[in-house]
Amino acid sequence: MSRLVDTVSQFRSWAGDHPKDDESWEWDYEFWPTLIKTVLDFFATRPFSSWSPEEIDSVLYVIAHDPDYMPEITPELPRAYPHLILPLTAAAIERGEAGVKSRLAFELGAVRFDDPEQERLLFVLLDDDSAGVRDSALRSLALLGHPSVEKLARESWHHPAPGQEWTRINVLLCLYNTNSPELSAYLDEAQRDGRKWLVINADFIRSGKQGKWVRPIKI
Q: Please compute the mean of the pLDDT values over residues 13-36 and round it to a whole number.
A: 83
pLDDT band at residue 71 using 50, 70 and 90 as cut-offs: confident
Question: Measured between alpha carbons, how far is 181 from 183 in angstroms, rounded to an integer?
Answer: 6
57, 59, 26: which is closest to 42 by C-alpha?
59
- Global pTM reads 0.92
Per-residue pLDDT, 151: 98
- pLDDT tens-digit profile of 148-184? 999 999 999 999 887 799 999 999 999 999 999 999 9
Per-residue pLDDT, 7: 97
Question: Measured between alpha carbons, how far is 204 from 30 in angstroms, rounded to an integer?
Answer: 39
- pLDDT tens-digit profile of 78-92? 999 999 999 999 999
Which of the 8 DSSP states describes residue 74?
T
- For the chain, percent of residues with pLDDT exceeding 90: 78
pLDDT band at residue 25 using 50, 70 and 90 as cut-offs: confident
